[in-house]
Structure 1
């Protein structure tokens, strides 16, 4: 089964950024599912409404990506980023 973590580097950077900027989201909306599937050429096994629910493992992966981005490790596209956030640890609580 295709997971967000397995296709992350191939996902449209705009979708990556949306996911990282919406940390409380546990479901990927249909419009973004369509963009991901068109970009990577794989199905995300969406529900009857066309939405994709993140698994527990995917939520942990996304939390780690957000934290790395907030701490200056990486941007959504995986490249190095010098930006740092003083509040990254508070966001993880």
Structure 2
């Protein structure tokens, strides 16, 4: 049986799970609550440990890192810059 990869299952996962994964890119062991959500939506087989947690592969970690730095995300140059000082104020 082939093991599931996050890349294969990404579009099936709910937004809350995807956000958690992107917000925690260095997490090698996924907590059981997040693992349960992944299992709920995934079509592939998910290997879990005795605590109901899943271990991410190097491929999964690289994929999450890629998603977190996706070029389709807002680029820094597109974010408006707001100066903290008022025009004419002196500091």
TM-score over 0.5 (shorter chain): yes
Residue of structure 2 equivalent to 1:49: 51
Superposed, 1:10-89 pairs within 5 Å as 10-68=12-70, 71=71, 73-74=72-73, 83-85=74-76
Question: TM-score normalised to the size of structure 2?
Answer: 0.72
Gaps of 5+ in 2: 78-91
> Where does structure 1 differ by over 3 angstroms across 4 or more consecutive aligned residues?
none
Q: C-alpha distance in 1, partners of 2:26/2:76?
A: 18
Greater helix content: 1
Gaps of 5+ in 1: 75-82, 87-93
Deviations 1:1-51 (A, max 9, x none): 111111011011100001101122112110111111112354311111111
Which is greater in Rg?
2
RMSD: 1.7
Question: TM-score normalised to the size of structure 1?
Answer: 0.70
Tell me: higher relative CO, structure 1 or 2? Use CA pairs within 8 A at least 6 residues apart. Answer: 2
